[in-house]
Structure 1
Amino acid sequence: MKRILFLLLALCALCAAQEMPLIDRLPLPASGSGWRFDIEPQSYLPDNLFEYINGEAELYNDYHFAGMATAAYIRGDDMNMTYSVDISDMGTPLDAFGLYSRHRSPELEYAAIGEEATVSELNIRFFKGRYFVQINAGSFEEAVREEMLRTANAIAETLPVAPMPRELALLPQENQLPHSLVYYTRGMLGQSLFPAGLMAKFVVASDTVGAFLVLTSSAGESLPAFQGFSASLKERGSLLAESPGRIEVETPYQGRILALHHLHWIVGVMGYKERETAERLAAGLIANLGE
């Protein structure tokens, strides 16, 4: 009986964490610390997000943005001691990771906040479950950075845990450059026919190259997309080799690109020096799909 009661209480706690209003996830200023709200908590939805972040609203909406809660904090009346917090509900862990991945690169500093965080002098970004969090500093003051880190950890503790998206394992982990994986919802490599896709960098035989996977769901979807991509490659580059379901092109800005149509997938390697490197990585990409 006690075991059943414990499980019910744990389930209730989990449900409460999942259903907490987004604006309630914004931490209150620490009592006695001198910090207070500079701008009271506000909420934004997809249709008015541009009022807050006009330059990035389209990117957020590309990742199925559902809502944001934001607030600004200040210590006393010191304008050098300010920071803002944005907590965004992206609907799914995959979309939260995707938006986060568009803001990271391998050379940044990382921290164990949420699933993963990038940390700089002026901002902290992390994701956990279906949430993407961004904290921006108003100055380079060390005390602001320390308060931002405290706030980031406090927020992360309140966010519900969710499994990492299975799609992220579709590109192999072996030889993948850490923090280079990016998830796109559309238009990867500038291709309007491409639906969602993944890109990452790999180190193969001391050469760092790019790899991509287009997440088409059927051959009926992937074949026209591959044909359109092949035509685009030939227009902007020099054809090196072509056979059914396979094309290799030398392009001015992305170097050599090898693309293959495999079952209902489109896989590719780019920026390589030796064809053997591309062939080896492409074979690994296909083997990792397990089909």
Structure 2
Amino acid sequence: MRIDAAQRGKGLILIFILGLSVLSPAFGRAGVQEASTFTSPLLAILPASDVWRASEPPRQFLPETLFEYINGAAESYISYDFQELIVAQYEKKDVPSATLTLEVYDLGEPRNAFGIYGSERYPESRFIPVGAQGYYEDGSLNFLAGRYYVKMMGYDCGPDAEKLLTAVALDVAGRIQDNVGFPAELAAFPREGLVANSERFILRNFQGLAFLRNGFQAGYRLDGLEFECFIVESKDEAAAEAAARQYLDHFRAAGSAVEAKADGWEFQDRYMKNVFVGRRGRYLYGVSRIPEGRQDTGRAYLGKLRSGLGGPQGSAATGGER
């Protein structure tokens, strides 16, 4: 059967129209789901707007495929128990050359999301009130909200880039149900001398030690001194006691002379300088990088940490060396 030119033209027009319906679905939830070849609760987080439209269907990446999207950084995300990533691409309706890439990372738990977020922010970043916290920098806006870490990159958005991205970020943050704040453990860090936004959470291999998990740390500057405080959470008191024993044994094996004190232990390390350690309940905590001659500061901050974790000032953390 022969197909004349008119029929071919109609067929091409029909294919073109169908293609547009797939590549440019409505920005909102329904259009995205219709265009997708997968199902995911993260699709409900994608925003709705009169300003943007989807330029292609969203894509899904799981732990086994994440390297296909962020090859160099995939290991860092997976180390925080990464669950799923949705990537959505948009173009501005009135200026199609202005585009937006939206990435929603599901880390399974809020503290894991804080962990990867904290590893990518800088204390000097310009922070904005989106979700638990966000920051904007050169056409990019990243924020933390519950178990999700959301990253946005705008291209050719002009002088209104921050305003445009912030509007989308607020929409996405408003769709996240478990939009909790920072981990509660951060409140235990002493306020005096704390470097704002230096707090971090390391899920595995805290301080490079395979037996330490769930570690929090924060940087301090005080009277020309720079040092760190840390808190390591265990599942219960017995596990914390075992972690403390293993921690001290590790440094003894490395040549450190561990000295037992009424409120914990003290020792010197080649890299962490003077270190002060205590245990309270299911927490191991400490102060590190204290130079010689400033030990009183280390002891004072060990007491502040103990108080922040609920222990009375001056009480014994564990009752001596093990």
Normalised by the shorter chain, which TM-score bucket? 0.7 to 0.9
Partner of 1:270: 288
Indicate which of 42, 57, 62 corresponds to 1:40: 57
Show the counterpart of 2:26: none
Q: Could you tell me which residue of structure 2 aligns to residue 136 of structure 1?
A: 153
Tell me how far apart the structure 1 counterparts of residues 176 and 116 of structure 2 sit (CA, whole Å). 17
Give 1:114 deviation, angstroms: 1.1
Q: Report the residue type matching 1:103 in the other structure.
A: E
- The one-letter amino acid of 1:179's match is N
Greater Cα radius of gyration, structure 1 or 2: 2
1:178 to 193, 196, 202: 196
* Greater strand proportion: 1
Corresponding residue to 1:94 among 111, 129, 134:
111
Is 1:103 the counterpart of 2:113? The answer is no
- Relative to structure 1, the CA distance from residue 241 to residue 229 in structure 2 (aligned partners, 3 Å threshold; closer, same or farther) is closer
1:188 aligned to 2:240?
no
Question: Against the structure 1 CA distance between its residues 205 and 280, is the aligned structure 2 distance closer, same or farther, given a 3 Å change threshold?
Answer: farther
Match in the other structure for 2:185: 167
Is 1:152 paired with 2:169?
yes
With the length of structure 2 as denominator, give the TM-score of the two structures. 0.71
Q: Any gaps of 5 or more consecutive residues in structure 2?
A: 1-39, 312-322
Q: CA deviation at 1:251?
A: 2.1
| Partner amino acid, structure 2, of 1:25 | I
Counterparts of 1:241-260 in structure 2, within 5 Å, are: 242-243=259-260, 245-252=264-271, 254-260=272-278
Amino acid at match of 1:108: S
Deviations 1:221-261 (A, max 9, x none): 2344334433444566x746523751321424x44333334
Deviation at 1:77, TM superposition (A): 5.3
Structure 1: 5+ residue stretches without partners: 1-19
Supply the RMSD in Å over aligned alpha carbons. 2.8
Query: Is the contact made by 1:247 and 1:260 (CA closer than 8 Å) also made in structure 2?
Result: no
Paired amino acid for 2:309: L
The equivalent residue for 2:89 is 72
In structure 2, distance between residues paired with 1:77 and 1:265: 53
Task: Tell me the distance in 2 between the aligned counterparts of 1:240 and 1:122.
Answer: 51
- Taking the aligned partners of 1:114 and 1:136, their CA distance within structure 2 comes to 17
Please list the CA deviations of residues 158-193 of structure 1 after superposition, one character each: whole Å capped at 9, or x if unmatched: 222544343332334454322111112111110101
Distance 1:284 1:213 in 2: 12
Contact 1:216–1:264, Cα closer than 8 Å, also in 2: yes
**Residue 23 (structure 1) aligned to one of 20, 30, 43:** 43
CA distance in 2, matches of 1:260, 1:42: 47
- Counterpart of 1:17? none
Structure 1 residue 218 displacement after superposition = 3.5
Q: Please name the residue that 1:280 is paired with.
A: 300
Aligned residues: 265
1:1-16 residue pairs with structure 2 within 5 A?
Answer: none
Whether the 8 Å contact between 1:87 and 1:132 is mirrored in structure 2 is: yes
Aligned residue type for 2:210 = S
CA displacement at 1:138 relative to structure 2: 4.1
